[in-house]
A and B are shown apart, each in its own frame.
Chain A
């Protein structure tokens, strides 16, 4: 674990893998929720880092550093009851054939690989309600497009690197697209719901082939 200042009011914790990110992110989030980190505003886990911010309260970061020293990142985490979600997909994505070619298999096999995997939400970010899903089968772990698309429709289901994901709203993006959620799929982001994001860290996600629309 390596702790780097991000200006005077934030820290970035460098970590070795998703398991460490999960341990550190959860410990900080729990301490924040219990009111033990006054002044801390954001705890933002990502692929190999956790960002902690304390705008206007730089003295709060001392307690964060002390807590980080006490975290055992190797201890197995107890089961979290973050729930499970099944997302129905029309597999008609623009990059389906590209993904099949790079995976050296057929389009049907891509769909089988994607629907056969049990994915877990590692962290959120990028856009409201967007979740990075870990546990993608190795052949589907493929690079981003060289040129991002300016407009990806809401509900698009894609892969990039070690992660799967679903675009909660129309946005630019460079993920390879396999398909899109059906119209009756659960809403990924609703600011009036508690919690607003459907997919929170630890949630297990399975995709289901809903056929063609």
Chain B
């Protein structure tokens, strides 16, 4: 059989719970209802791109609880970041396990298998040249709320890759990695509607919350002590207002939601506080059942 030029592609051969194309997201469109989207664990995604020598605005994959297998049609460099773990490379009948958080050279026809991590939730896979699906509003990210961007990966999905990059990958051994924690203490900037919750600072400081199993890319749903409405705001409806990532919204049941990258652009329940931006990526890796405590900071 004669073949044309080889297209640089990833071909999905197995999928786990969910794998998505992600990049830096599409900020700047909130006024027309478009969520920011993008990698939930931004630092892990950026590190993976650096490890293979890609520029920072390139797309990679966000893999929830592993289970993903991909065949590469051409030799390239890949790197897996996120929680520590191995990456399996199948060449013909042979398998080798290589460590995460380092550049790995693979050959045409090799199959990469991303196993489930032993801690945390989401791995980030970068491939030399990046995943080059068509951008939508300046981003290649899948958006699970609005449906913009590429669909979740399925068996048979073929993802085009960008041109191989001229910059050399960074060296190995440069990155220290530790297991994703199952308990975190998070700084929370109170406001803009902290007064809607009775003794917001006191309740937030005293309580411990548990990550709920319905958490997703829209938000982490926390269960724990009820954040009760302040007397003056009982039965009052808040008009919908703009939301940011990291906003902690309190619905009528008093169980808070921490909004992540696929959050709706506006919301109609009071936001009691906003997670310190540097600490938000931790929520990408919190498994259901993990515990969250807050250190409330006065605005």
In the complex with contacts A7-B246, A8-B277, A42-B31 CB distance below 8 A? yes
Cα–Cα, bound, A50→B192 (Å):
12
- Of the stretches B15-23, B86-94, B118-126, B235-243, the one at the interface is B235-243
Q: Tally of A-B residue pairs with Cβ under 8 A?
A: 123
Q: Is the CB of B239 within 8 A of A7?
A: no
- Of the stretches B45-53, B68-76, B201-209, B263-271, the one at the interface is B263-271
Q: Is the CB of B241 within 8 A of A5?
A: no
CB distance from B23 to the nearest CB of A (A): 15
Q: Is the CB of B240 within 8 A of A47?
A: yes
Cα–Cα, bound, A56→B246 (Å):
13
In the complex with contacts A5-B299, A9-B277, A44-B265 CB distance below 8 A? yes
In the complex with contacts A42-B27, A42-B30, A55-B277 CB distance below 8 A? yes
Contact of B192 among A5, A44, A189 (CB under 8 A): A5
Cα–Cα, bound, A37→B147 (Å):
30
- Of the stretches A85-93, A125-133, A178-186, A205-213, the one at the interface is A125-133
| B213 at interface by CB-CB < 8 Å | no
| B221 at interface by CB-CB < 8 Å | no
Q: Which residues of A contact B271 (CB under 8 A)?
A: 6
8 Å CB contacts to A: which residues of B5-61? 27-34
Q: Is the CB of B242 within 8 A of A46?
A: yes
| B179 at interface by CB-CB < 8 Å | no
In the complex with contacts A4-B299, A6-B191, A128-B246 CB distance below 8 A? no
Chain B: how many interface residues by the 8 Å CB criterion? Answer: 35
In the complex with contacts A6-B247, A8-B189, A44-B265, A128-B146 CB distance below 8 A? yes
8 Å CB contacts to A: which residues of B258-299? 264-266, 271, 273-277, 299
Q: Which residue of B lies closest to A48 (CB)?
A: B239
| A164 at interface by CB-CB < 8 Å | no
| A136 at interface by CB-CB < 8 Å | no
Cα–Cα, bound, A4→B192 (Å):
6
CB distance from A32 to the nearest CB of B (A): 9
Q: Is the CB of B148 within 8 A of A191?
A: yes
CB distance from B218 to the nearest CB of A (A): 12
8 Å CB contacts to A: which residues of B218-250? 239-247
Q: Is the CB of A42 within 8 A of B28?
A: yes
CB distance from B126 to the nearest CB of A (A): 21
Q: Which residues of A contact B151 (CB under 8 A)?
A: none
16 A–B contacts from the bound complex (CB under 8 Å): A4-B192, A5-B191, A6-B191, A6-B247, A8-B276, A12-B242, A42-B27, A44-B265, A46-B239, A53-B242, A125-B32, A126-B33, A126-B265, A128-B34, A196-B34, A200-B32
Q: Besides A48-B239, A128-B148, A191-B137, 18 other CB < 8 A contacts?
A: A4-B191, A4-B299, A6-B247, A9-B277, A10-B244, A44-B30, A46-B240, A48-B241, A51-B30, A51-B242, A123-B31, A125-B33, A128-B32, A130-B33, A189-B32, A191-B136, A191-B148, A200-B32
